[in-house]
Chains A and B, each alone.
Chain A
C-alpha cells in the first residue's frame, strides 16, 4: 500500500498534476527560498553567496556592476573619471604611478537609526579593513590598494590608490560600516572584533543598515525577516516584508515552492540547472523561469606537468573531440552556452576573432597522430614508447550535473582513443588540497567565477603557479607559463587608453585560444524560478546580486 502511494505521488509529480497552483502570496510580502543560510552577518569578514544576496537588500556598496555589466554608483553620486577631474593620476612617494579618486556619498544616505552616512564611516571602515587583526579576507583592498584617504567634508572623500589601474572607479568591496555603532566595539578589542561586531551580537539593530530593507528577525538556520527601512532614500520598495527561508535540500526546496510556502527561488543560490529544466517541463506554465548565463566558467583544468597534456596538439585534440554544442542541447536544452574562451561574450572586454574549436573528430585524430599517439590498441591510442594515452578527470563528488557531464566527456574522448578515468573527491578535498597543491594528475572539471572586466592574472600569470616556495598562493593550477601572456596581463592593469586596452584584451583571448591552458566548456546558466505575479527581477549573471535592485521589483496589478 505504501509503495502504491509512493507510485501515485511520483506519477503525480512527474505528470505535473500534483500540487495545487502556488498560493499567490499577499502582495505586501515576498518569500524567497535559498539553499544556504548565512553563517555570519558582517559584510566583510567572510564571503558567502547567501549572505551577499540578503545583505544586498539591506545595504549598498559604493559601486556595483549592473545587469548590463556596467559599473554604476550605488552609494556614491557619480562614478569618478579622469575626464571629469574626479580621478587623477599621481606619483607615489616610491616613484610608482598611482591614482587618486574622489567620491561623494549620496547626501540622502542615512543609517536605519537616522544617523547620516558620512566620511567618518569611510575612515572607520578603512581603519578596520587594514587592521591586521580585523579578520578581513579582502585585506588587499584596504591595506595595499588604498594607501591614503583624504576627507573633504562630511560627504566627499578622496581615495589614493597604490596603482593606476584601469578599473580605478570600482570599489565594490568597500563595505561601509557604521562608525557610531562599530567604533567602540572595534577599539575595545580589535583582535576579537569579528566576533564582537554588532552585526553578530545585535544583528537586528536598524543602525547597521541603510538599504531599502533592514533585518528585523533572524532565526538562525531557518529564516530571516526583512522589513522596510523608513530611512531609505531611494524609491519605496513594493513589499512591506521580505522573508528569506533556507532549505538546503533542493528537492525539499522545490516542494516548498509547489506548496506555496515560498514564492521564488533565485539563481544566485537556488536550484541546479538540471532540476529546473525538469521542473519547467512539469510546472513551467505556472512560473516565470529565467536562465541567465553568466561568469561561471565551467572548464576542464589541465595539469600541464603531465607529459601528454604539455603538448598543445593533445590539448586541442581533446577539445576538438568533444561535441559541446550537442552536450549543451542534450544536457542543458541549449540553456547553457558553449564557452570558447575564458572571457564571457557578455563582458565588455570580450573581443571576438580568436580561434575556436568546434567538434571535429577528424582534425582531433590528425593532431593526436602528429603528437605521436598513433597506434590504437583496444581502442586506446599509444605512442612509440608503448605508453597509453590515459588520463584522469576529477570533479566535485556529489555534484550531479558535473558527474553526468564527466561521463559524457569520458565517452566522447574514448571515441577519440583517449582513455579517461573518473576520480572524484568531496569539494573540500578537491579545492582545499588537491587543486591548491596541484596534486591532480591530469584534468579537473570545475568552474571559475569572477567579476566583469576581471583580469585573469591569478589564473594565467606564471607567478601565480602554487608551489611550496610561494606557500601555495595563486590559482594557476595548470602550471601555465607564457611570457607573452604574462606581459599582456601586466599591461592590462595600467594601459587604459580604450583602443590600446581593447587590443590587449583581444591579444589575451587569442593567446588563450592558441595555447588552451584549460579546456573551455560552458558559461553556467543560473536558473531563476519566479512567480508570474512578480515583475522586474533582472538577474545579473555576475557576483553582484539581483537583490541590489529589489526596490524596482514589482507585483503585477
Chain B
C-alpha cells in the first residue's frame, strides 16, 4: 500500500511538472501579449510604455527564465499575483473553489442519489415501459444543451412563477448559509438534470451486464433474496466502471462548469479559468489548471482504492489475491 501510494505520488509530481510547463508554453504562444492588450485602448501609449509595463510584469524575460522563477517561488509557497485581479492567486482561487465545490458537489451527490436507483430499476426491468420512460428521460437530459436548460429553468421558475431567484450567489447582505439556498436550487437543478441521464445509462448498462452473470444465477439458485442479489452482489460489481466515470468527473468538481456558472452568474472555477486564459493571466490560469489536474489525479487514486474495496480480486500488489 505504501509503495503504491509513493509510486502514484511520484507520478503525480511528474505530471504536475509537465503540465505546468505545458500551460506556460501554450499560454505564451497564444496571440495577444497581455501588455499590448492592456494598452490597446490607450492611443497615447508609446513603445516605451509597453516596454516599461512588460518589464514590470516580467514579460521581457525569456520563457524558461520566467517559468523557473515561477516554479521556485511556487515550491516556496508563493504562487504570485493575478495580473487581472491584482490579488494573490490563492486569495482569488479560494472563494471560487468554495463556490464551485458547493455547486458541483451538491449536483454530483444529487445525481448519484437519483441515477443509481433509477439505473438499477431500469436494468431490473429491461425494455419494459418503465425502462423506456427512464431512457427517454435520460436521452432528453443528455441532449438538451446546458445553457438552454438553464435558460428554461430561469424563465419558468424565476420569470414566470417567481418562485426562485434567477441568478447570483445570495441576497445582498446575506449572513446565513440558509439564505443562499434558494440561489442554489436552479443551478444545481440545471447541472443535475443534465448529468443524471448519463449516469443512469452507465448504471443501467453495468447492471444489465452483471445481472446476466453466472454468479447471479447461482446466488438466486441458492435461495438468496432478490433485493440482496441485486443490491449486495450485482451492484457491487457494477460499481467498478461507474467508479471510474465518477473518478474522471472528480477533477471537474474543482474545475467548474463554465456554462452553468455563466448563466447563473455564479462565480466559480470554470469562469475563473476561462477568464484567466482569455485575459492572459498566467499565474491564475496555471495554478487553477494545476489544481484541476491534481484533483483528477486524486480522483483516480481514490478510484484505485475503491476498486480494491469493491473487488477482492484486485490488490495493491498488482496480481490477483
Nearest CB on A from B91, distance (A) = 10
**Chain A residue at smallest Cβ distance from B266:** A222
Query: Are the CB atoms of B159 and A245 closer together than 8 Å?
Result: no
Q: A464-477 toward B: CB 8 Å interface, digit per residue (1/0)?
A: 00000011110100
Could you tell me the distance between the alpha carbons of A132 and B33 in the complex, rounded to whole angstroms? 19
Question: Are B167 and A221 in contact, CB atoms less than 8 angstroms apart?
Answer: no
Are A20 and B154 touching (Cβ within 8 A)? Answer: no
In the complex, are the beta carbons of B155 and A219 less than 8 A apart?
no
Chain B residues with CB below 8 A from A246, complex form = 265
- Which chain B residues border A433 with CB–CB below 8 Å? 31-32
Chain A residue at smallest Cβ distance from B35:
A137
In the complex, what residue of chain B is closest to A256 when comparing beta carbons? B166
B179 at the interface (CB under 8 A from A): no
Q: Report which of B148, B166, B172 forms a contact with A223, defined as CB distance below 8 A.
A: B172
Checking A141, A192, A256 against B44 with a beta-carbon cut-off of 8 angstroms, the contacting residue is: A141
- Kindly provide the distance from the CB of B205 to the nearest chain A CB, expressed in whole angstroms: 23
Alpha-carbon distance A362/B156, docked complex (angstroms)? 54
Q: Is the CB of A473 within 8 A of B43?
A: no
Contacts of B44 in A (CB 8 A): 138, 140-141, 458
Tell me whether B198 is interfacial, beta carbon within 8 Å.
no
Give the interface residue-count category, chain A.
Answer: 35 or more
B272 partner residues in chain A, CB cutoff 8 A? 221
Query: B171 to nearest A CB, angstroms?
Result: 10
B176 to chain A, nearest CB (A): 15
* Contact (Cβ within 8 A) B52 A132: yes
Q: How would residues 153 to 172 of chain B score, 1 for a CB under 8 Å from any chain A CB and 0 otherwise?
A: 01110111010011111001
B117 nearest CB across to chain A (Å):
21
- Asked if A432 is an interface residue, CB under 8 A from chain B, the answer is yes
With contacts A191-B56, A220-B267 taken as known, whether A2 is within 8 angstroms of B144 at the C-beta atoms is: yes
A9 engages B262 (CB within 8 Å): no
Cβ-defined partner of B46 (8 Å) among A132, A217, A436, A473: A473
A346 within 8 A of B: no
- Cross-chain contact of A47 among B41, B92, B160, B173 (Cβ < 8 A): B41
Closest to A219 in B: B169
**Cβ-defined partner of A473 (8 Å) among B50, B151, B265:** B50
The answer to whether A222 and B33 have CB atoms under 8 Å apart is no
**In this assembly, does B39 line the interface, its C-beta being within 8 Å of a C-beta of chain A?**
yes
A248-B265, A252-B262, A259-B166 given; A139·B38 CB < 8 A: no
On whether A6 and B152 interact (CB within 8 A), knowing A428-B32, A436-B40, A475-B43, the answer reads yes
In chain A between 348 and 401, which residues have their CB closer than 8 angstroms to a CB of chain B?
none
A459 (CB) vs chain B CBs: closest residue = B43
- Interface check B42, CB cutoff 8 A: yes
Tell me how far the C-beta of B255 lies from the nearest C-beta in chain A, rounded to whole angstroms.
Answer: 16
Q: Which of A138, A194, A246, A256 has the most CB of B within 10 A?
A: A256
State whether A258 and B159 are in contact (beta carbons under 8 Å apart), knowing that A195-B86, A200-B87, A431-B32 are contacts in the complex.
Answer: yes
Indicate with 1 or 0, residue by residue over A135-151, a CB within 8 angstroms of chain B CB atoms.
10111110000000000
What residue in chain A is nearest B169 (Cβ atoms)? A222
Q: Which of B140, B144, B166 has a CB less than 8 Å from the CB of A255?
A: B166
Q: Smallest CB–CB gap between B55 and chain A, Å?
A: 9
Find the B residue at minimum CB distance from A473.
B47
- Chain B contacts of A514 at CB under 8 A? none
Asked whether A18 lies within 8 Å of B155 as measured between CB atoms, the reply is yes
A303 within 8 A of B: no
Which of B46, B159, B279 has most A Cβ within 10 Å? B159
Is B303 in contact with chain A by the CB < 8 A criterion? no
Instruction: Determine the chain B residues whose CB is within 8 A of the CB of A542 once the complex forms.
Output: none
Q: Complex: how many Å from CA A513 to CA B151?
A: 46
Contact between A251 and B151 (Cβ–Cβ < 8 Å)? yes
Q: A residues near B, CB below 8 A?
A: 2-3, 5-6, 9, 12-13, 18-20, 37, 39-40, 42, 45-47, 132-133, 135, 137-141, 191-192, 194-195, 197, 200, 217, 219-223, 225, 241, 243, 245-249, 251-252, 255-256, 258-261, 428-429, 431-434, 436, 449-450, 457-459, 470-473, 475
